[in-house]
């Protein structure tokens, strides 16, 4: 995959003027979807186009969604504000990008030592997460939906080997969300930047290491060309949910059947997106090792333990946040994590460990 295909759309674009209402003609609506990704970037860029196409199809063409990649109408990190303010009708991104709005938002996307992809949607649907998600995003006039998941992300690309927690101190490291706070507590200099920018920073030495998503997406961006040590497990993001945010006024103006079309388009993509990541990550990892000389390395146990201690401090601080809604979100998350985590010891974890013990028969 030629990484240069995804750099052209990465430049910051001018912000379009807000629209008072979406264009409607003969009960047809033209919606602009702005995304945080280069167009057709393997993984999130592909998923964003799938969502645009599915909303158009499920609405019977009554909502026509046109996708604008990062930089085409607004910068990738500007899509939340664009939809909140009415510049665009909807966006595709990840909650991990909106910590400056509220740290409570970050728990809806990924959490250090947190929920897997199936557990994340379980919290939303069965553990009260969606109601809290709606309440938080409602502050910004956005109706939110989960619409995919990357599954387990990786620990990152490192220019040098990591043998102890001391080796992490002072490293300039690209990451996002609550993983940034965990990294900072371990003495790392956490940097926020887009995927293409991460390549450039690793290449020039402005970064020592960084994580983005996983083998499929990462290899398309070319990280294997500038850093050969690829670390697992990605405890900073055991999964990362992708989301669709719709301008609240635009959503509320829809008839009930079109509201259902938008909701089902998002919900119906969660598993296809997640399982595509899983399949193509597995294929890409084999190629990275066999053809690109990548060294797959496990973080030492003492490094993982230090990360766990830092992650606990992050959660404790959220529990004491001055915002009462943030405190309710974190308590709901912790309760669901502990509930399903206890069960998974016997169920999925037990099954996966047993399978690993006999692989190759």
The answer to whether residue 233 is domain-embedded is: yes
* Mean pLDDT, all residues of the chain: 93
The answer to whether residue 284 is domain-embedded is: no
pLDDT (mean) for 121-150: 98
pLDDT (mean) for 174-203: 97
Whole-angstrom distance, CA of residue 236 vs CA of residue 184? 12
Q: Helix, strand, coil: what percent of the chain each, to 5?
A: 50, 15, 35
pLDDT band, residue 18 (cuts 50/70/90): very low
CATH number, domain with residue 84: 3.40.190.170
Partners of residue 56 on adjacent β-strands = none
Is the same domain home to 58 and 115?
yes
pLDDT band, residue 22 (cuts 50/70/90): low
Is the same domain home to 51 and 10?
yes
Is the same domain home to 184 and 63?
no
Q: What is the pTM of this model?
A: 0.91
pLDDT band, residue 86 (cuts 50/70/90): very high
Whole-angstrom distance, CA of residue 13 vs CA of residue 108? 28
Is the same domain home to 116 and 184?
no
Whole-angstrom distance, CA of residue 235 vs CA of residue 230? 14
The answer to whether residue 288 is domain-embedded is: no
The answer to whether residue 304 is domain-embedded is: yes
| pLDDT score of 5 more than 80 | no
| pLDDT score of 221 more than 50 | yes
Ramachandran category for residue 141: left, alpha or beta (phi over 0 → left; psi -120 to 50 → alpha): left
Show binding-site residues for Na(+): 212
* Range list of β-strands (E), 110-186: 142-149, 156-158, 172-174
The answer to whether residue 316 is domain-embedded is: yes
| pLDDT score of 13 more than 80 | no
Number of folded domains that form the chain:
2
Domain boundary among 252, 279, 306: 279
99, 77 contact by CB (below 8 A)? no
pLDDT (mean) for 96-117: 97
Cβ-based neighbours of 345, under 8 Å, separated by 6 or more: none
Whole-angstrom distance, CA of residue 316 vs CA of residue 204? 37
Q: How many other C-beta atoms lie within 10 A of the C-beta of residue 114?
A: 25
pLDDT in tens, 300-351: 999 999 999 999 999 999 999 999 999 999 999 999 999 999 999 999 999 9
Q: At what angle do helices 129-138 and 324-344 cross, to 10 degrees?
A: 150
For the ranges 82-96, 215-229, 346-360, which has the lowest average pLDDT?
Answer: 346-360
Whole-angstrom distance, CA of residue 251 vs CA of residue 254? 5
pLDDT (mean) for 34-42: 97
Instruction: Encode 320-335: b = buried (16+ Cβ within 10 Å), e = exposed.
Output: eeeeeebebbbebbbe
Q: What is the pLDDT of residue 3?
A: 53
Token pair, residue 184, equals 């900072």
For the ranges 17-21, 88-92, 196-200, 229-233, which has the lowest average pLDDT?
Answer: 17-21
pLDDT band, residue 10 (cuts 50/70/90): very low
Is the same domain home to 313 and 200?
yes
The answer to whether residue 25 is domain-embedded is: yes
Show binding-site residues: 153, 174, 211-212, 237
The answer to whether residue 247 is domain-embedded is: yes
Is the same domain home to 160 and 264?
no
Please state, in angstroms and as integers, the Cα–Cα distance from residue 352 to each residue in 192, 201, 274, 347, following that order: 34, 37, 18, 9
Host domain of residue 334:
156-237+294-358
Domain boundary among 279, 311, 335: 279
pLDDT band, residue 207 (cuts 50/70/90): very high
Is the same domain home to 144 and 37?
yes
Q: Give the CA angle between residues 336, 338, 343 to the nearest 5°.
A: 100
Show binding-site residues for substrate: 153, 174, 211, 237
Q: What is the pLDDT of residue 26?
A: 65
User: Rounded to 10 degrees, what is the CA torsion of 318, 195, 223, 219?
Assistant: 100
The answer to whether residue 7 is domain-embedded is: yes
pLDDT (mean) for 33-51: 97
pLDDT band, residue 359 (cuts 50/70/90): confident
Q: What is the pLDDT of residue 360?
A: 74
Whole-angstrom distance, CA of residue 142 vs CA of residue 91? 10
For residue 15, give the DSSP letter.
Answer: P
Is the same domain home to 242 and 225?
no
Is the same domain home to 193 and 106?
no
| pLDDT score of 24 more than 70 | no
For the ranges 53-62, 165-174, 352-361, which has the lowest average pLDDT?
Answer: 352-361
Is the same domain home to 228 and 325?
yes
Is the same domain home to 230 and 242?
no
CATH number, domain with residue 345: 3.40.190.10
């Amino acid at each position: 995959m030629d990484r240069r295909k995804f750099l052209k759309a990465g430049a910051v674009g001018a912000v379009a003027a807000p629209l008072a209402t979406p264009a409607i003609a003969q009960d047809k609506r033209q919606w602009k979807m702005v995304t945080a990704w280069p167009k057709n970037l393997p993984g999130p860029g592909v998923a964003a186009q799938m969502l645009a196409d599915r909303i158009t199809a499920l609405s019977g063409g009554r909502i026509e969604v046109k996708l604008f990649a990062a930089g085409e109408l607004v910068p990738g990190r500007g899509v939340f504000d664009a939809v909140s303010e009415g510049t665009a009708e909807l966006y595709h991104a990840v909650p991990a990008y909106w910590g400056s709005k509220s740290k409570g938002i970050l728990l809806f996307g990924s959490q250090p030592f947190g929920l897997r992809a199936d557990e994340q949607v379980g919290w939303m649907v069965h553990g009260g997460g969606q109601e809290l998600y709606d309440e938080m995003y409602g502050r910004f006039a956005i109706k939110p939906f989960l619409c995919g998941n990357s599954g387990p992300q990786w620990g990152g690309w490192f220019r040098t080997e990591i043998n102890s927690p001391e080796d992490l101190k002072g490293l300039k490291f690209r990451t996002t969300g609550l993983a940034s706070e965990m990294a900072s507590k371990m003495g790392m200099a956490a940097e926020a930047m887009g995927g293409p920018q991460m390549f450039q920073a690793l290449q020039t030495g402005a970064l020592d290491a960084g994580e983005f998503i996983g083998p499929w997406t990462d290899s398309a961006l070319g990280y294997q060309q500038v850093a050969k040590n690829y670390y697992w497990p990605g405890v900073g993001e055991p999964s990362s949910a992708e989301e669709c945010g719709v301008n609240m006024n635009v959503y509320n103006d829809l008839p009930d059947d079109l509201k259902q079309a938008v909701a089902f388009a998002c919900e119906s993509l969660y598993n296809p997106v997640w399982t595509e990541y899983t399949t193509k990550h597995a294929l890409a990892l084999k190629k990275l090792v066999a053809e690109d000389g990548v060294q797959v390395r496990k973080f030492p146990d003492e490094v993982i333990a230090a990360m766990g201690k830092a992650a606990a401090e992050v959660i404790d601080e959220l529990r004491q946040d001055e915002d009462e809604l943030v405190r309710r979100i974190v308590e709901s998350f912790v309760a669901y994590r502990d509930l399903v985590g206890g069960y998974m010891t016997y169920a999925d974890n037990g099954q996966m460990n047993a399978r690993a013990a006999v692989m190759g028969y």
